Structure 1
Amino acid sequence: MTAAPSLSWPAETAPHDRLWLAFPTGGYTLGDTAADAHEARQMWADVAAAAADFEPVTVVVDPSQVEVAARYLRDDIETVVAPLDDAWMRDIGPTWVRDGSGGLTAIDWVFNGWGAPAWATWGKDALIAQTVAATAGTPVVSSLLVNEGGAIHTDGEGTVLVTETVQLDQGRNPHATRERVEAELARTLGARKVIWLPRGLTRDYEEFGTRGHVDMVATLPSPGTLLLHVQRNDAHPDFEVTRELRAFFEGQTDASGRRFDIVELPAPDALTDDEGPVDYNYVNHVVVNGGVIACAFGDRVADERAAGILADAYPGRRVVSLDARPLFARGGGIHCITQQQPAASPA
C-alpha cells in the first residue's frame, strides 16, 4: 500500500490544540423523562469539565439547547452553535491529519447514522465535520467512504485499526472491498498498514449498535503496544469474542513490522443491564494533554485496576476516572463523545 505523501494521522497522544464535544440534543440520548435528560446533560458536561482541566474544550450546541447548555457547561468551555441530530462527536466530527508542513487538514467522512438504520436521523450530523473544520480554520479533504471516528484508530506511525463489519458493512459501503478501503485510508490518513479486526463486542450488533467500532475493543497507547478489552467471565458472550480477538492480535504486526505487546484491560464484574449483556470496557477513554479521562463503572476494584493499567500505559499523564454508565446506557463511552484536534505541529 502506498501512503499519501502529504498527509499523516497523528496518534491521540500527540499534543492537542483542543478537544471537541457535542451537547445532547434529543431522542434516545436525552431519554423519556426530565431525570434522564439531566443525567445525559450532566454526563457530557462532566466529561467536558474533566478535559478542560488539561486543555481547551469546545462544545457544539444545537440552537434549541443554547440556554440549557449554559446551565451545565463550565464558563471556561467554548461553545459553537450548529444544528445537531445527536451528540457522538467522535463519529460525526472530522478526523484531523497533518500535511507535509505540519499544518492541519480535516478529513470529512460520509456519515449515515452508523449504516442507515431505520431508527436514526443524521442529516444535521452529516454536516458537523465541515462546521467544526471551518470553526477550527482548517482545510477539508472530503472522502466518499462512509466511516466514523470510533471505527478507526492509529499508532501515529501509519498503523490503522478497522473492523470488517464496519467499513465493509452493506449499510455503509455496499461496493467496498478491502483494497478500496485501504487505498482510501492511505490517501486520507497516510495509512501504511491496515489491520482488519474480524468483529467487535456482542452488544454492538444489537439494534442501536455500530456493528463493531474498534474504540470499544482496542487502542494503541504507543507504537508496538496494544491495550485490549478482555472479558474474563465465561458467562458473558464477550468471553469468547475477546479470546478470539487476543488470538487475532497475537498474529498481527504493525506498520513497522513489530508484533504487539498486548496489555489486557479486564472488564468490570457487571455482566448485564436491563437490555442484556453489557459492553462496559476501559478501552474507551480519551487522552488529553497531560491526562487520560477514563471510564469507571461503580466497581471499585476493577476501576482502580484499570486506572493503574492506564497510568502505566500513559506515563506522565494523570488518570481521571468518571462513572460512564450513563454513557454506555446510551450506546457509547467517553471516547465516543470526544474528538481531539491535534496541535498544528509536534510540540
Structure 2
Amino acid sequence: MTDPAPASGESAAGQPAGWVMPSETDRHDCTWMAWPSQGYTLGATSDEVATARGTWAAVANAVAGFEPVRMVVVPDDLAVARQLLHPEIELVPAALDDAWMRDIGPTFVRSADGTRLGAVDWVFNGWGAQSWASWEHDSRIGAFVGGLTGAEVIGSSLVNEGGGIHVDGLGTVLLTETVQLDPGRNPGLTRADVEDELARTIGATTCVWLPRGLTRDYDEFGTRGHVDIVATIARPGVVLLHEQQDPSHPDHAVSRQLREVLEDARDARGERFEVVGVPAPRTLADADGPVDWSYINHLVVNDGVIACTFGDEQDDASLAVLAEAYPGRQVVGVDARPLFDRGGGIHCITQQQPTL
C-alpha cells in the first residue's frame, strides 16, 4: 500500500487523529443518496427507467420521514428528481456514473473527542474494476460530499466501499476476505495491511474477517462479497445474520459457515457475539438463478429502520425480527426487488452522516 496523505488523517504533530466510525444506530444529521441517471442501474427501456427512479425515490421518501435527505443528482435530471422526491429533500447537482452512494460516497467518522467530523475518501474503482463499470465521476464523490459537509476529508489509498464494512462504534468491524483482499481492488495487500489502514481511518481495533458473502453477489453485477448484505451489528455484541433455511439454496451452506465464524469470534471488548438469524425470503430463485434477497441490507435511521421487502410471505416475520433487534424504532418496508435486480439493496444506495 502506498503511504496515505498525513495531512488529512493525522494531527499537525504527525500523530493519529483518533478517528472513530460510529455505529449506524447513532443519531444522524442526514442521509446521503445519489440519483440513478445512466447505465444498467437506470435501465434501457422506459419501464426500467421509471422503475429505477420510482424505487430510489421510494427509499429516499421513506428516509425523509425520519431525517433529512441530501440527494446528489446529475444536472439534467434535477427536474424529474424534484417531481418524484419529497419537497424537503435537498438536491445537490454533480456528475455521476452510478447511484450506489454507500460505495461511492465517504465513510463518515468522528474525532475521538466527538468534536470534529471526518469523511474517509476511499479509492473507488468500480467494485474491483468490473468490466461493465465506469467510475470517472463516482471516484470523486467521496471527497465532494465530504467537502460539502465541512468534514475533514481523510484520504486513503485503500480500495474499499462502504458496503464492505459494518461497525459497532466501539472498534469492531465486520468485513469479508473477498472484498478488501480482492486482487482487483488491493493486489498484494495482506490482512495486516488492511487492518492497519482501518485502524487509522475508522478506528478499528478488532477486525472480524468473514470468508465470503452471498452466492449471487459473485455474479456479473455483484460486489464480490459485500458484508452489508449478509451480516450487521445491531448493537454491541449482537450480530444479525442472513439465514437461508432452505438446504437447496447455495446460501444455506454459506449461512452455516458464517455463523460458525461469528460464534467463534470476539468483539473489540473481547466478548463473544450473540448471533441472531434473520430468515431469508422464501423465494429461492429468479430467471437468473438463486436470489440473494436479504433483509440484512437495511438502513438504520433516526428512530426508525428502512427495510427491504420482496412481496414475499417471509417479509412480515423477518421485519418483526428487525423490530425486536432495534427496540423503539419504527420499521418501514420498501419493495427492494428492483434494487436487487440491479445488484444491491437499500443500505447500498444510502450513506448516513452522523451527528457530532
Name the TM-score, length of structure 1 as normaliser: 0.97
2:298 aligned to 263, 269, 285, which one? 285
**1:31 counterpart residue number:** 43
1:101 Cα deviation from its structure 2 partner: 3.3
Q: Does 1:159 align with 2:158?
A: no
Offset of residue 18 of structure 1: 0.3
Deviation at 1:66, TM superposition (A): 1.3
For the Cα contact (< 8 Å) 1:4–1:189, is it kept in 2? Answer: no
Q: Which runs of 5+ in 1 are unaligned?
A: none
CA contact (8 A) 1:23 1:59 kept: yes
Give the counterpart of 1:129 among 142, 147, 154: 142
Map 1:251-262; keep pairs closer than 5 Å.
Answer: 251-262=264-275
Contact 1:4–1:190 (CA under 8 A) maintained in structure 2: no
2:353 is aligned, of 321, 338, 341, to 341
Equivalent of 1:330 in 342, 345, 353: 342
Read off the aligned partner of 2:50 and give its amino acid letter: H
Q: Shift in Å at residue 51 of structure 1?
A: 0.5
Give the aligned residue type for 1:123. Answer: E
2:188 pairs with 1:172: no
The whole-number CA distance in structure 2 between the counterparts of 1:263 and 1:336 is 22
Shift of 1:100: 2.9
Alpha-carbon distance in 2 for matches of 1:5, 1:283: 32
Aligned position for 1:77? 89
Q: Which amino acid aligns with 2:197?
A: E
Q: After the TM superposition, list the runs of 4 or more consecutive aligned residues in structure 1 that deviate by more than 6 angstroms.
A: none
| Percentage of identical aligned residues | 59
- Letter paired with 2:37: T
The CA distance in 1 between the partners of 2:170 and 2:93, in whole Å, is 35
The aligned residue for residue 203 of structure 1 is: 216
Tell me the TM-score normalized by structure 2: 0.94
Residue aligned with 1:265, SS:
strand
| Alpha-carbon distance in structure 1 between the residues aligned to 2:315 and 2:275 | 19
* C-alpha separation in 1, matches of 2:192 and 2:292: 30
Distance in 1 (alpha carbons) for counterparts of 2:16 and 2:203? 5
Number of the residue aligned with 2:58: 46
Are the aligned partners of 1:268 and 1:303 in contact in 2 as well (CA < 8 Å)? Answer: yes
Q: 1:181 aligns with which of 194, 198, 212?
A: 194
The residue number in structure 2 matching 1:234 is: 247
State the shift of 1:147 in Å. Answer: 0.1
- Please show how residues 61-76 of structure 1 align to structure 2 within 5 Å: 61-76=73-88
Q: Hey, what's the Cα distance between the residues in 1 that align with 2:16 and 2:269?
A: 17
CA positional deviation for 1:5: 5.8
In structure 1, the partner of 2:10 is: none
Three-state SS of the structure 1 residue aligned to 2:19 is coil
The residue that corresponds to 1:120 in the other structure is 133
2:325 aligned with 1:313 = yes
Deviations 1:60-100 (A, max 9, x none): 00122112211211111001000000000000000011013
Match of 2:259 among 246, 250, 255: 246
How many Å separate the matches in 1 of 2:16 and 2:46?
49
Q: 1:104 touches 1:139 (CA, 8 Å); kept in 2?
A: yes
- 1:48: how far off? 0.5
Distance 1:118 1:127 in 2: 19
Q: Tell whether the 8 Å contact from 1:61 to 1:82 is kept in structure 2 after alignment.
A: yes
Query: Distance in 2 between the 1:159 and 1:139 partners?
Result: 23
Q: Which residue of 25, 32, 36 maps to 1:13?
A: 25
- Matched residues in 1 for 2:89 and 2:17: separation? 36
1:140 is aligned with what amino acid?
V
1:89 to 86, 98, 101: 101
Q: Does 1:303 align with 2:301?
A: no
One-letter code aligned to 2:212:
R
Deviation larger for 56-65 or 281-290: 56-65
Separation in 1 of the partners of 2:200 and 2:220?
A: 32
Count of paired positions: 341
For 2:194 and 2:246, how far apart are their aligned partners in 1? 35
CA distance in 1, matches of 2:128, 2:72: 23
> Could you say if the C-alpha distance between residues 232 and 4 of structure 1 is closer, same or farther in structure 2, counting changes exceeding 3 Å?
farther
| Number of the residue aligned with 2:278 | 265
CA distance in 1, matches of 2:76, 2:203: 39
Which SS does the other structure have where 1:114 is aligned? helix
CA contact (8 A) 1:20 1:341 kept: yes
1:224-278 per-position Cα deviation (integer Å, ceiling 9, x unaligned): 0000001011111111111111111111111111111011000011111121110
Deviation at 1:139, TM superposition (A): 1.2
Task: Answer yes or no: is 1:106 the counterpart of 2:119.
Answer: yes
Cα deviation for residue 54 of structure 1 reads 0.4
Q: Secondary structure at the match of 2:173?
A: strand
Q: 2:151 aligns with which of 135, 138, 143?
A: 138
The CA RMSD over aligned residues, in Å, is: 1.0
